[in-house]
Amino acid sequence: MEKINEIKKLIENNLNDYIKTLRMFIKQPSISADGTGINKMAKMLKEEMNRVGINTCLLKPSSGGYPVVLGTIKNKKNNYTLLVYGHYDVHSIGNLEDWKFDPFSAEIVSDKIIGRGAADNKGNFLSWIKAIEVLKELGINIPINIIFFFEGEEEIGSPHLNIILNENKNLISEANSKIVFEPRQDSKGKAFINLGWKGMLSLKLTFKNRGGQIHASYGPLVSNPIFELVRAIKEITDGINIYLPGFYKSIAPLSPEERECLKNINWNENDIVKALSGEPLKYENLKGGKVIETLLSDPSITVSAISSGSVDPPVRSVIPESASCLIEFRLVLNQRCNEVYNSCVKLLNKLNSKCRFQLEILASSEATRTNVKHDFVNKVKKACNLTFGYKCDVYPNLQGTSPDHFFKSILDIPSVGCGCGYHHLCHRPNEFITISQFSKGIELATNIIMELSN
């Protein structure tokens, strides 16, 4: 207990310095979608890690792609190895006009550090580096082995992660457990941990006619790729139900313990409306605990983008040559990406469209879940409760995705998500982390380390 107070005090004393590093990291753009600043950020992170005494190098997959920043801390007396996963890339900024400040200015307004990546994921992976710095400064020998695995392609679906993991199996094969450190505070600020992730299948669907762009007056006679795309989307889903044959069949039911976890989460319809800036629920009758159950347990589908012709400025009076959209499935345990893809192709073929379609896989990841009764889960829970001073929530899985399945296919180890910052602000404009959230993040990282040495 004395140690814990020492740690808390040191974090408090050094916090201004830690914030400086965080702001430096935020100010360095690292957008994986277009590559902006990625390599600079990887180098900056490696240098910071080496500075605090984490033996760090850059791993590049033979197939190309942005490097993984890999750091290791060895303990000669303990075999236990924790793998800490994070990512130094950030999501695209979206519309610049939606930001109150330059997304890479790391502006501080009262207790908020604002910027793309502030919480997702720079404030989080930096918590671990600062945790190591704190422990070292206090003369505490890191009691376990740690592998830091910070990738640069998380926000684009980790397209090279599978290759890099397979090419460097030996570097991570010692791991006994895995922490994914990311924003895990709900819209009320309550901390939670998650034991799994949804899967995701991201597709680009294009319909193209044979005759190129055609004058709109030929509308009575020829097909329009936009109508074909609209028809295809409507055949796949009405925005609520997903009509692919067998889509819901393979879903793994929740265990009684998982149901119990869900029941204990106190997060209702008003919380989500508030979290989503007034966006109402699409179901009239979804209330109370059913909201979180639906969010975490139901698969879903989104069209993230759709495009054909020019709406603005309006280019009218044409039947466009092609129309495309990005379809994204969020899948739950036991639903497999390849089965969903095949099912889509089958349905699209059945449409018998005069236009030709193309269905391209942009990214895919499988759903995963760690058993709620695993000892590792208990230890992380304990560290969380200790850090935040209350019983944190346990989500059987997150509504979001993670490349957890790539690790799972190589390492059969438990995997838990936790961390600091508002989860619902990820990817939104004006993303921020509060100073106290960041400080709690560092504390949580030290507590997990200490807990795992017991």
To the nearest whole angstrom, how small is the minimum distance from the Cβ of residue 134 to a second copy?
Answer: 32
Binding letters toward a second copy, positions 202-241, x by CB under 8 A: x-x----xxxxxxxxxxxxxxxx-xxxxxx-xx--xxx--
Phi, psi (deg, nearest 5) at residue 142 = -60, 120
Which range, of 56-64, 293-301, 338-346, 382-390, touches a second copy by CB under 8 A? Answer: 293-301
Which residue bears the tokens 């995705």?
Answer: 401
Measured from the CB atom, the residue of 2 and 284 that comes closer to a second copy is 284
Q: What single letter denotes the amino acid at residue 287?
A: K
Reply yes or no: is the peptide bond before residue 313 cis, omega within 30 of 0: yes
For residue 268 the two structure tokens come to 């209702």
Residue 233, CB-side half-sphere exposure with 13 Å CA sphere: 25
Q: Minimal distance in Å, beta carbon 345 to a second copy?
A: 19
Q: Which is nearer to a second copy, 91 or 178 (CB)?
A: 91
* 144-183 positions binding a second copy, by CB under 8 A: 155-157
The amino acid present at 254, given as its one-letter code, is L
What's the min distance (Å) between Cβ of 427 and a second copy?
A: 5
**Residue whose CB is less far from a second copy, 305 or 345:** 305
The nearest distance, CB 446 to a second copy, in angstroms, is 29
Residues 252-291 binding a second copy (CB under 8 A) are: 272, 276-283, 286, 291
State which residue, 19 or 301, has the beta carbon closest to a second copy. 301
**Sites for a second copy among residues 358-417 (CB under 8 A):** 362-363, 398-401
Q: Tokens at residue 425, please?
A: 């602000």
Strand 432-434 to 112-114 pairing: antiparallel
Q: Which of residues 308-367 bind a second copy (CB under 8 A)?
A: 308-320, 323-326, 328, 330, 354, 362-363
CB 21 → a second copy: shortest distance, Å?
A: 27
Q: Which of residues 239-258 bind a second copy (CB under 8 A)?
A: 239
| DSSP run (H or E) holding 315 | none
User: How far apart (Å, rounded) are the C-alpha atoms in residues 362 and 117?
Assistant: 23
Burial of 326 (0-12, 13-18, 19+ CB in 10 A): middle
Measured distance CA(211)–CA(175) in Å, rounded: 57
What are the φ and ψ backbone dihedral angles of 367, each rounded to 5 degrees? -70, 145
Size of the residue set binding a second copy (CB under 8 A): 95
Spatial separation of the C-alpha atoms in residues 444 and 151, rounded to whole Å: 21
Q: Could you tell me which of 265, 225, 13 has the C-alpha nearest to residue 130?
A: 13
Residues 24-63: x/- map of binding to a second copy (CB under 8 A)?
Answer: ---------xx-----------------------------
